[in-house]
């Protein structure tokens, strides 16, 4: 069954931690299970680390491309747009990620722990970086990530072990940044452009069921038509109509799987102008008609 990453209208990823009082999560992403083999473009306030278990992933942090192969790890800073796609000619990409907010380790903004160990990272506009084994900190981070992934949530002391490993992981991250031996990805494109990309995608997510034109998007986000195209190319890496259709298809698939609505209701609700166009886009993407897909669910 294909999966779609759930995001809010402003693209902030919507996920719930197993225990709301202990905000820490470990997730395994099998890219073949995702629509278009893609973890959609999104952002969240939480820090994210990832480890590619198999295959190759084309990963983007804001508008920066990072190729990740089996064994590669990465860090994504808080509040950064990011997405991952199974690389072409690859059919077995799997990675695990861990996420946690700053509040897992400190809730006192302005306190010593925040000012010494979090503000330097969050205040530098660091997008993230690829974790290498070229130095001791990188090796330590890779080991800590695998240690975290191997923990059993049912074991007594799981939360305390997580805190121990995450504290050590964050300390290694700070050392990794401060020793200058890592190629940091800085938000050199100006945070304003990243926010503009969020606004563009937010408009599509809010109006996908309506007729959408580039002029509509540009007018709502107060930018020119050409700037709108540039933002899509820079951050989404595809043409606007392609992204709009893909997003509409994710909604259509959800309705095909979870409801008994007929095809006319579905294509209308998802913003497609005709049954024939809906069928063509669907078949071009999934090599099956909507009805065939529904029977396979």
Q: Which domain holds residue 100?
A: 25-186
281: left (phi over 0), alpha (psi -120 to 50) or beta: alpha
pTM for the full predicted model: 0.74
pLDDT at position 262 is 95
Do 69 and 141 sit in the same domain of this protein? yes
| 84-142 pLDDT per residue, tens | 999 998 999 999 999 999 999 999 888 999 999 998 888 667 889 998 777 788 899 99
Beta bridge partners of 42: 82
Do 71 and 103 sit in the same domain of this protein? yes
Q: Indicate which CATH number applies to the domain containing 88.
A: 2.60.120.280
Do 46 and 147 sit in the same domain of this protein? yes
Which residue among 171, 186, 201 closes a domain? 186
The overall average pLDDT reported for the chain is: 87
7 occurs within a structural domain = no
The H helix count followed by the E strand count for the chain is 11, 10
**Alpha-carbon distance 207 to 251, whole Å?**
12
**Alpha-carbon distance 201 to 10, whole Å?**
7
258 occurs within a structural domain = yes
Do 204 and 259 sit in the same domain of this protein? yes
**Alpha-carbon distance 197 to 14, whole Å?**
18
How distant, in Å, are the alpha carbons of 79, 82, 149, 263 from that of 91?
30, 21, 23, 30
Which residue among 158, 186, 214 closes a domain? 186
| 22-72 pLDDT per residue, tens | 999 999 999 988 867 888 788 888 999 999 999 999 999 887 889 999 999
| 247-293 pLDDT per residue, tens | 899 899 989 989 999 999 999 999 999 999 999 999 988 889 999 98
5 occurs within a structural domain = no
HSE-up of 131 (CA within 13 Å, CB side)? Answer: 29
- DSSP state letter for 47: E
pLDDT at position 39 is 86
């Amino acid at each position: 069954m294909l999966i779609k990453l759930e995001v809010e209208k402003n693209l902030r990823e919507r996920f719930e931690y197993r225990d709301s009082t202990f905000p820490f999560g470990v997730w395994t992403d099998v890219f073949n299970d995702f629509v278009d083999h893609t973890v959609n473009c999104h952002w969240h306030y939480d820090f994210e680390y990832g480890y590619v278990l198999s295959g190759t992933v084309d990963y983007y942090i804001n508008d920066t491309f990072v190729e990740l192969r089996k064994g590669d790890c990465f860090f994504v800073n808080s509040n950064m747009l990011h997405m991952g796609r199974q690389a072409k000619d690859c059919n077995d990409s799997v990675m695990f990620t861990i996420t946690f907010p700053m509040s897992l380790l400190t809730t006192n903004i302005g306190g010593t722990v925040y000012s010494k160990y979090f503000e330097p990272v969050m205040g530098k506009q660091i997008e993230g970086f690829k974790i290498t084994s070229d130095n001791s900190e990188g090796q330590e981070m890779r080991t800590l990530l695998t240690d975290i992934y191997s923990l059993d949530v049912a074991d007594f002391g799981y939360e305390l072990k997580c805190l121990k490993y995450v504290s050590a992981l964050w300390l290694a991250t700070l050392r990794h940044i401060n020793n200058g031996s890592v190629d940091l990805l800085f938000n050199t494109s100006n945070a304003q452009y990243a926010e503009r990309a969020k606004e563009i995608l937010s408009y599509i997510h809010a109006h996908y069921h309506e007729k959408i034109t580039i002029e509509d998007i540009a007018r709502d986000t107060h930018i020119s038509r050409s700037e709108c195209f540039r933002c899509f190319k820079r951050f989404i890496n595809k043409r606007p109509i392609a992204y709009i259709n893909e997003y509409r298809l994710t909604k259509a698939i959800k309705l095909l799987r979870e409801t008994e609505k007929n095809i006319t209701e579905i294509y209308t609700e998802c913003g497609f102008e005709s049954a024939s166009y809906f069928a063509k886009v669907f078949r071009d993407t999934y090599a099956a008609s909507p009805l065939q897909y529904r029977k396979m669910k």
